[in-house]
Amino acid sequence: MKIFTVVLFVLFLSGCCILNKEREEIIPSYRMLNYNYPSNYIKFDNSIKDKNPEPRNLNDFLNVKFKSENGDAESSFLMSMLHYNDSNCSSIIILDTKPNQNCLLAVEYLKKSLEQNPEYDLALFELGKMYAEGIGFKKIVKKQFII
């Protein structure tokens, strides 16, 4: 029983996203609930926070997830960024590691956002960045020489 309690405590402290198998709900991590849109997104679309505010509690998070599941491209994009922020996606580039579950979910939500709205600029921008960095896709490195 003590080992189980310690393991649960460590998982809680690590801030990981836990899947509750009985209810199939994702419990957001501390990092997800403290996510803020980057300043370049706000400069590009100054109403992004008004249209789709960052979640600050479980109900906000579930609301964003619900809107994403019901066809809202901006909510899917936000879910992608929340999962990306809580993943090892950035270490894939540096350490050449395998993506964790949140990294894979970030890519899936980003693809979903573009399926819902193929012209959504911020999602296209993030997809291009992920593609260039080899996150969720096979990285193709070609050197180009300009003469």
**3-state DSSP assignment of residue 13:** helix
Q: Where are the alpha helices (DSSP H) in the chain?
A: 2-14, 30-33, 39-44, 48-51, 58-69, 73-85, 89-95, 101-116, 121-133
Give 17's pLDDT tier (boundaries 50, 70, 90).
very low
Q: Is residue 127 within 8 Å of 110, Cβ to Cβ?
A: yes
For the segment 33-80, what is each residue's pLDDT rounded down to a tens digit?
Answer: 999 999 999 999 999 999 899 999 999 999 999 999 999 999 999 999
pTM for this model (two decimals)? 0.73
